Amino acid sequence: MKEKKDKIIRDLEDALSSVSNAVELYEVKAEFLGKKGCVTELSASLKTMSPEEKKNFGKKLNELKTAVEEKLTIKGKEIENRILNEKLEKEKIDVTLPGMQIKCGSPNILEGLIESLEELFMTMGYDVVEGPEVEKDLYNFELLNLPKGHPARDAQDTFYVKDDELLLRSQTSPVQVRTMLANEEKGPIRVICPGKTYRRDDDDATHSHQFTQMEGLLIDKGVSLADLKGTFDIIAKFLFGENVDTRFRSSFYPFTEPSVELDVSCFNCGGEGCPICKSTGWITVGGAGMVHPKVLSNCGYDPDTMSGFAFGFGIERLAMLKYGVTDVRMFYTNDLRTNCDRKDV
């Protein structure tokens, strides 16, 4: 058996020395370990042996099989490593070559305007705060001094989700309420709240059931209407240029007192009168006012020691005025072609 074992190992080594690929290795494996292989044929002689001879012969036969399998495995790994190295050599990459230029899109006009306004407000110390779009009636109306049955609710014709307690927010003011309630120390607040809002409205060139608002809130000691006017001046000049003038007009909102409309001088005619400003020389861009004392009380603030102002803009309206867009629906069509008369889009 020893002589046969040594001869098989020598024959295997000779056969493996000329093997260069996986196919040839498979053929050698079949020659030695296949059904008709020389190692397998040795097992046939076990039939004629005594139990004691079978034991000794079987042990040596297993040692031979193990040795043959090890040599085949080693050769297989050599072939794999050689193929891998050849592949790496052929497919190596020059990392000093310039990268591929990937085409990127540009922000939607609304997104770009929101981001630029956020940057402006952050320079003035405001935080950007967001809240849920599916809101409770408590935050959207009641704590903002609009109890159930209040006539001002009709102007915000609301999408209710569940009974009359859960709704799609009709304004981003609930985010202001949540911020005031979360401020346990009832200290100063300076935040803006951009986001989507929803109202039952027929979609046309100037209206949409879904639109984007950006509201702001500042609460501190000694805040006055003059502080609101100064803030509005900064915003207006940032949006429409240094030459724009601003004014307040008396208005009414349940959550502010006094309340004002925010007007800017018409940037198209310079205040002389044109179709854009309806010959008035002024364009309304938003609403604002001093936070109503009851809203402060509802949110845990003492209206005798703290005051504040709130303001709100429709982002679509600002974008239409700033860029000369004539149809609000164009913001949502994903069509790169635009119907803009101004060149600074």
Q: DSSP assignment, residue 335? A: -
Per the prediction, the chain carries an average pLDDT of 87
The reply to whether omega before 254 is within 30° of 0 (cis) is no
* Per-residue pLDDT at 342: 44
d(Cα 117, Cα 194) in Å, to the nearest integer? 10
Continuous H helices in the chain: 2-17, 22-33, 38-42, 51-90, 109-123, 137-140, 173-182, 225-240, 293-298, 315-323
Three-state SS sequence of 110-179? HHHHHHHHHHHHHHCCCEECCCCCEEEHHHHCHHHCCCCCCHHHHHHCCEEEECCCEEECCCCHHHHHHH
Q: What are the tens digits of pLDDT across the range 149-197?
A: 887 777 668 898 888 889 999 999 999 999 999 999 999 999 999 999 9
pLDDT band at 89 (very low <50, low <70, confident <90, very high): confident
* Per-residue pLDDT at 238: 95
Residues of the chain with pLDDT > 70, as a percent, come to: 95
Burial of 10 (C-beta count, 10 Å sphere; 0-12/13-18/19+): exposed
159-162/166-168 β-pairing: antiparallel
Q: Does residue 220 surpass a pLDDT of 50?
A: yes
* Per-residue pLDDT at 1: 63
Residues of the chain with pLDDT > 90, as a percent, come to: 47
d(Cα 246, Cα 94) in Å, to the nearest integer? 60
Token pair listed for 181: 């309630």
| CA Rg value for the chain | 40
* Per-residue pLDDT at 339: 46
Residue with tokens 């990459």: 93
d(Cα 70, Cα 230) in Å, to the nearest integer? 86
Q: What are the tens digits of pLDDT across the range 64-75?
A: 788 888 888 898
- CA-CA distances (angstroms) from residue 257 to 173, 187, 201, 219, 237? 15, 21, 27, 14, 25
Q: Sheet containing 246-253: give its strands across.
A: 127-128, 189-198, 210-220, 307-314, 282-291, 256-265, 246-253
Q: What are the tens digits of pLDDT across the range 303-333?
A: 999 999 999 999 999 998 888 888 888 888 7
Beta-carbon contacts of 216 under 8 Å, excluding residues fewer than 6 positions away, are 121, 126, 191, 192, 193, 231, 310, 311, 312
* Per-residue pLDDT at 341: 46
Q: What are the tens digits of pLDDT across the range 95-120?
A: 788 888 877 777 788 999 999 999 99
Q: Does residue 338 surpass a pLDDT of 60?
A: no
pLDDT band at 58 (very low <50, low <70, confident <90, very high): confident
Q: Does residue 53 surpass a pLDDT of 50?
A: yes
* Per-residue pLDDT at 179: 96
Check if the beta carbon of residue 216 is closer than 8 Å to that of residue 256. no
* Per-residue pLDDT at 104: 75
d(Cα 236, Cα 262) in Å, to the nearest integer? 10
Beta-carbon contacts of 117 under 8 Å, excluding residues fewer than 6 positions away, are 192, 194, 214, 235, 238
